[in-house]
Amino acid sequence: SNPFLATPSLHGPKGERARFLAVVDNGAMINAIDTAAFQRIARRLHPLSPSSRKLRMANGSVVSSTGTWTGKFEWGPLTTHTAFEVFPSGGSWRMLIGKPL
Domains defined along the chain, listed by start: 4-97 (2.40.70.10)
User: Residue 21: CB partners within 8 Å, gap ≥ 6?
Assistant: 5, 6, 7, 94, 95
Q: What's the pLDDT at 101?
A: 76
Query: Using CA atoms, how far apart are residues 34 and 90, in angstroms rounded to an integer?
Result: 8
Whether 28 contacts 97, CB under 8 Å: yes
Q: How far apart are CA 25 and CA 86, in angstroms?
A: 17
| Predicted local distance difference test score (pLDDT) of residue 100 | 85
Per-residue pLDDT, 2:
83
Splitting the chain (101 residues) into consecutive groups of 10 residues, what average pLDDT does each group show?
92 95 93 97 97 88 95 97 95 92 76
| Triad 30, 47, 5: Cα angle to 5° | 40
